[in-house]
């Protein structure tokens, strides 16, 4: 139909079409019609004489002239875009009464179905994925009795244990709801891209029948084999090495302690415990060598490909595992036919084929990280290694340079290549980039082939005759223990990640545009740099960037003044105090971590990290939901805590984070005084269940902060500024503040009456508000709205 076109561009445009289809909810048949229209237009134009083609066609053909004399490439690319959009829409048809999600948030219901997978076991609970077959909705208080057939999957949370198995037939009773979402994480989108649209957080669950006769015999056998392998790992290896081996070999890292998981994340070595291209490449090499010795080169390659496919099925491969497996198989087979693997084309085509079967994989974080890490290796690994070898030859003999280039390339330069293309995604999803990764990976990666080969041998032998498998496990244990100790040691380094805040989509797009632009046009850069017209612009750009950095550092330097900034983070009060000597104290936090980070970053120099003091004034969720993530980015030296740490879920979460981060916590007590530096002090006036009242003093300046709890007794003398953050407002007439600050808007009639006649500024009307004082006078500035 169409002349041959580059596979890369067709694959990329198909993936772009999936994104287009997710944004424009047109009918799948409508998108299909557009795709067919492009195909018909191509067939028609192919019959035309090129001399009769219209002027617009001649212009459009320039894009595809290298592929087709008539320039039909644009139509082919458009067809691929529309086909991608159609595929997404067909995968997400409108809900009907036959869909389980149709009944979300409609009251009590009973559902019956089969467990679609073994339970996802956690420390305190288990998650069951149920393929629902029937549903009955309760009418009022009556028990549901009339079941109707429905289709769909849901996640149900049940107590730990229970001996649940794949394909068990179960009945659930409870509130079927849409999965929750918040500002930091959308569990709804996460499950939706896995084909799950319903959630049962709590409910009654009972087993109707065992699953042996209900599900797929092949799936049941694979799940049973995986459970036996996990059990063997648990018996042959001590903890936490057993959890590490389960993650590396079988893709189940649920048993790893949270501090260990965080250490892997902070050190940029999490790819080790997640089955990915690195693991698959080790297995591909191992299988190819062993099977080729036994069966010969050609049959050995086919056997190796079959073994990789079986392994992926056994571990329940997700998007990243399947992509890595397909790439590995293509590499194995490509070697047999004598063709050089075209990395970029193969990667793009593999991703397009995967998303053809499941377009939701495009949104999986693991798929995105795996895709861009592989792209980085394809584009930059060889040039980096070649450059290093060239440099080494200048300093060392040829033989020594070649011996050094191998391990340096594999364990250092390849890490740099993958980091170059995954850095924006790490910033978007995790808020930071590990600088320790460049130190940890060269030490952690070398023993991993031994971990996988000896560990895998131990599991295979353990399933046959465990005493023999135990011997292999003893040989594998030192390598696993070494991996854990190195990761934990590097993870204990203070601030192992560079906090980059919340990266916007525009910044991510700009980064990739610059990176790939330099990749495509790097040969032209020297000529451009030598251009007389470009030099002044380049010099001005460098000087401008330096000026911005210098001005930011200068504006943030201590100037002997006290600054109180009421941040616009929502309805909850959030106050940043910058002392005359440059110390910073944060009171409250608000509900949104990204919003708080944006406010803090505007007022902190780029090189400054951390806080000198964090004050937890209230324990309600809207006041501190942002703080667990904030204390990881801006680590406080210590915390002054008011209220019960067990009062709310948000308080418990924050308390656990502070404990994990080993940040000292001091309970707030009436009369407590904190030296902020430079003569500024913070005094605790009152403490109660609803909050705290604080007094900030600097020479003659006094600011009373009423955050949920009114001051007990009379405050001595008038105050310069008053912050109202809820609570009673009686007895404030004698304070006579020169300015009143309010988070959000004043809606309480009593509060409105109490501040009648006083100058009032609120974040709801004025945005952020800053008070600057030298101890005598004050200067007030607010965001213009």
pLDDT in tens, 311-327: 887 877 666 677 777 77
| Eight-state DSSP code of residue 213 | G
Estimate the share of the chain in helix, then strand, then coil, as percent rounded to the nearest 5: 50, 20, 30
- The mean pLDDT of 76-94, rounded to a whole number, is 88
pLDDT at position 63, please? 46
Is the per-residue pLDDT at 68 higher than 50? no
- The mean pLDDT of 602-625, rounded to a whole number, is 77
Query: Do 79 and 193 share a domain, yes or no?
Result: no
User: pLDDT tens, 664-692?
Assistant: 889 888 888 888 888 889 988 888 877 88
Query: Do 122 and 39 share a domain, yes or no?
Result: no
- The mean pLDDT of 205-230, rounded to a whole number, is 81
Residue 138: name the closest of 147, 129, 130 by CA: 147
Assess if residue 143 is contained within a domain. Answer: yes
User: pLDDT tens, 6-33?
Assistant: 777 888 889 999 988 888 878 888 888 8
Assess if residue 244 is contained within a domain. Answer: no
| CATH number for the domain harbouring residue 137 | 2.40.50
> What is the per-residue burial (b if ≥16 Cβ within 10 Å, else e) of 48-73?
eeeeeeeeebeebbeebeebbebbbb
| Eight-state DSSP code of residue 337 | T
Query: Do 112 and 70 share a domain, yes or no?
Result: no
Query: Do 623 and 760 share a domain, yes or no?
Result: yes
CA 213, CA 262: separation in Å to the nearest integer?
A: 41
Greater confidence, 699 or 550?
699
| Three-state secondary structure call for residue 244 | helix
CA 84, CA 355: separation in Å to the nearest integer?
A: 9
Query: Do 680 and 700 share a domain, yes or no?
Result: yes
Assess if residue 70 is contained within a domain. Answer: yes
Contacts for 470-473: CB closer than 8 Å, 24+ residues apart: 470/236, 473/236, 473/237
CA 438, CA 435: separation in Å to the nearest integer?
A: 6
> What is the per-residue burial (b if ≥16 Cβ within 10 Å, else e) of 358-377?
bbbbbbbebbbbbbbbbbbb
Is the per-residue pLDDT at 71 higher than 50? no
Rounded to the nearest 10 degrees, what angle do helices 297-315 and 319-336 cross at? 180
Query: Do 17 and 109 share a domain, yes or no?
Result: no
Dihedral through CA 400, CA 401, CA 402, CA 408, nearest 10? 110
* Cis amide prior to 240 (ω within 30 degrees): yes
pLDDT at position 342, please? 66
In this prediction, residue 482 has a pLDDT band, given cuts at 50, 70 and 90, of: very high
Q: What is the DSSP string of 519-545?
A: HHHGGGHHHHHT-TTHHHHHHHHHHHH
Please classify residue 443 by burial: count the beta carbons closer than 10 Å to its beta carbon, then call 0-12 exposed, 13-18 middle and 19+ buried: middle
Residues 6+ apart with CB under 8 A from 159: 125, 126
> What is the per-residue burial (b if ≥16 Cβ within 10 Å, else e) of 166-192?
bbbbbbbbbebbebeeeeeeeebeebb
Domain end among 215, 237, 256: 215
| CATH number for the domain harbouring residue 590 | 3.60.15.10
Strand partners, 175: 108
CA 270, CA 432: separation in Å to the nearest integer?
A: 14
- Of 427-436, 560-569, 749-758, the range with the highest mean pLDDT is 560-569
Assess if residue 74 is contained within a domain. Answer: yes
Strand 639-641 and strand 665-667: the pairing is: parallel
**HSE-CB for 209 with a 13 A CA cutoff:** 10
CA 703, CA 695: separation in Å to the nearest integer?
A: 6
Is the per-residue pLDDT at 332 higher than 70? no
Question: Does the predicted TM-score (pTM) go above 0.85?
Answer: no
Assess if residue 252 is contained within a domain. Answer: no
C-alpha 210: how far from chain center: 37
Assess if residue 399 is contained within a domain. Answer: no
Query: Do 62 and 140 share a domain, yes or no?
Result: no
Please classify residue 671 by burial: count the beta carbons closer than 10 Å to its beta carbon, then call 0-12 exposed, 13-18 middle and 19+ buried: exposed
Query: Do 685 and 576 share a domain, yes or no?
Result: yes
| Three-state secondary structure call for residue 739 | strand
Domain end among 157, 188, 215: 215
- The mean pLDDT of 589-595, rounded to a whole number, is 78
Query: Do 48 and 123 share a domain, yes or no?
Result: no
Domain end among 64, 91, 118: 91
Query: Do 598 and 640 share a domain, yes or no?
Result: yes
Assess if residue 405 is contained within a domain. Answer: no
Query: Do 722 and 608 share a domain, yes or no?
Result: yes
Is the per-residue pLDDT at 1 higher than 50? no
Query: Do 156 and 53 share a domain, yes or no?
Result: no
Residues 6+ apart with CB under 8 A from 252: 230, 246
CA 350, CA 362: separation in Å to the nearest integer?
A: 12
In this prediction, residue 747 has a pLDDT band, given cuts at 50, 70 and 90, of: low
Assess if residue 418 is contained within a domain. Answer: no
Enclosing domain of residue 11: 7-91
Residues 6+ apart with CB under 8 A from 173: 108, 109, 110, 144, 203, 204
pLDDT at position 388, please? 83
- The mean pLDDT of 543-558, rounded to a whole number, is 58
Which tokens sit at 517?
């632009």
Q: CA-CA distances (angstroms) from residue 719 to 696, 702, 703, 735? A: 10, 5, 6, 6
Greater confidence, 49 or 719?
719
Q: CA-CA distances (angstroms) from residue 599 to 501, 532, 592, 782? A: 11, 42, 11, 13
User: pLDDT tens, 498-516?
Assistant: 766 555 666 777 888 888 8
| Three-state secondary structure call for residue 709 | coil
- The mean pLDDT of 606-622, rounded to a whole number, is 78
Q: How many domains would you assign to the chain?
A: 3
CA 657, CA 632: separation in Å to the nearest integer?
A: 8
Cβ distance 728 to 748 under 8 Å? no
Strand partners, 693: 686, 706
């Amino acid at each position: 139909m169409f002349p041959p076109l580059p596979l890369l561009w067709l694959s990329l445009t198909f993936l772009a079409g999936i994104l287009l289809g997710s944004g424009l909810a047109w009918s799948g048949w409508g998108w299909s019609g557009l795709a067919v229209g492009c195909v018909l237009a191509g067939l028609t134009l192919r019959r035309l004489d090129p001399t009769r083609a219209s002027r617009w066609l001649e212009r459009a053909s320039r894009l595809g002239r290298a592929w087709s004399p008539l320039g039909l490439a644009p139509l082919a690319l458009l067809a691929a875009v529309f086909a991608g959009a159609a595929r997404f829409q067909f995968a997400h048809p409108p809900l009907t009464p036959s869909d389980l999600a149709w009944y979300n948030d409609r009251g009590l219901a009973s559902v019956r179905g089969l467990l679609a997978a073994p339970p996802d076991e956690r420390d305190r609970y288990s998650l069951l994925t149920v393929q629902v077959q029937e549903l009955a909705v309760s009418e009022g208080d009556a028990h549901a009795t009339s079941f109707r057939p429905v289709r769909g999957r849901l996640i149900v949370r049940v107590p730990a244990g229970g001996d649940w198995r794949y394909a068990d037939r179960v009945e659930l009773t409870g509130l079927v709801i849409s999965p929750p979402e918040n500002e930091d994480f959308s569990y709804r989108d996460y499950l939706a891209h896995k084909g799950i649209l319903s959630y049962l957080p709590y409910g009654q669950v009972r087993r109707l029948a065992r699953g042996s006769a209900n599900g797929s015999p092949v799936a049941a056998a694979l799940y049973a084999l995986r459970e036996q392998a996990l059990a063997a790992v648990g018996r042959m290896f001590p903890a936490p090495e057993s959890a590490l081996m389960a993650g590396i070999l079988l893709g189940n890292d649920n048993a790893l302690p949270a501090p260990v998981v965080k250490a892997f994340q902070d050190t940029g070595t999490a790819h080790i415990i997640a089955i990915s291209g690195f693991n698959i490449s080790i297995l591909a090499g191992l299988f190819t060598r062993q099977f080729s010795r036994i069966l010969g080169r050609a049959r050995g390659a086919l056997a190796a490909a079959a073994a990789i496919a079986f392994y992926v099925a056994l571990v329940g491969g997700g998007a990243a595992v399947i992509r890595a497996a397909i790439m590995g198989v293509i590499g194995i087979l490509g070697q047999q036919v004598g063709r050089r693997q075209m990395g970029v084309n193969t990667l793009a085509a593999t991703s397009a084929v995967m998303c053809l079967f499941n377009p939701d994989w495009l949104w999986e974080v693991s798929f995105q990280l795996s895709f861009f890490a592989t792209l980085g290796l394809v584009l930059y690994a060889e040039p980096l290694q070649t450059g290093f070898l060239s440099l080494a030859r200048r300093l060392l003999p040829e033989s020594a340079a070649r011996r050094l280039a191998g391990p340096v390339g594999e364990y250092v330069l390849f890490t740099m290549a993958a980091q170059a293309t995954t850095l924006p995604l790490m910033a978007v999803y995790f808020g930071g980039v590990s600088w320790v990764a460049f130190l940890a990976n060269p030490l952690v990666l070398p023993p991993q082939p031994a971990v996988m080969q000896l560990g895998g041998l131990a599991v295979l032998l353990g399933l046959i005759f465990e005493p023999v498998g135990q011997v292999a496990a003893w040989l594998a244990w030192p390598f696993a223990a070494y991996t854990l100790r190195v990761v934990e040691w590097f993870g204990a380094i203070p601030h192992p990640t560079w906090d980059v805040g919340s990266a916007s989509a525009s910044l991510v797009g700009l980064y990739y545009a610059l990176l790939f632009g330099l990749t495509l046009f790097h040969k032209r850069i020297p000529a451009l740099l030598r251009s007389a017209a470009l030099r002044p612009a380049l010099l001005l750009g460098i000087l401008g960037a330096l000026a911005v950095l210098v001005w930011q550092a200068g504006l943030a330097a201590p100037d002997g003044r006290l600054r109180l900034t009421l941040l616009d983070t929502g309805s909850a009060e959030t106050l940043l105090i910058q002392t005359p000597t440059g110390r910073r104290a944060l009171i409250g936090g608000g509900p949104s971590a990204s919003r708080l980070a944006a406010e803090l970053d505007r007022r902190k120099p780029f090189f400054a990290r951390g806080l000198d003091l964090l004050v937890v004034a209230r324990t309600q969720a809207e006041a501190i939901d942002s703080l667990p993530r904030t204390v990881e980015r801006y680590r406080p030296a210590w915390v002054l805590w008011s209220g019960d740490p067990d009062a709310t879920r948000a308080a418990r979460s924050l308390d656990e984070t502070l404990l994990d981060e080993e940040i000292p916590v001091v309970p707030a007590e009436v009369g407590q005084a904190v030296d902020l530096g430079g003569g500024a002090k913070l005094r605790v006036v009152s403490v109660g269940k609803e909050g705290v009242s604080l007094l900030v003093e600097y020479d003659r300046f006094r600011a009373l902060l009423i955050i949920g709890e009114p001051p007990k007794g009379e405050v001595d003398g008038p105050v310069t500024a008053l912050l109202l953050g809820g609570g009673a407002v009686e007895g404030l007439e004698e304070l006579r503040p020169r300015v009143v600050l309010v988070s959000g808007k004043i809606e309480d009639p009593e509060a409105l009456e109490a501040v009648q006649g006083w100058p009032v500024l609120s974040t709801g009307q004025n945005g952020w508000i800053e008070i600057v004082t030298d101890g005598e006078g004050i200067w007030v500035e607010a965001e213009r709205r």
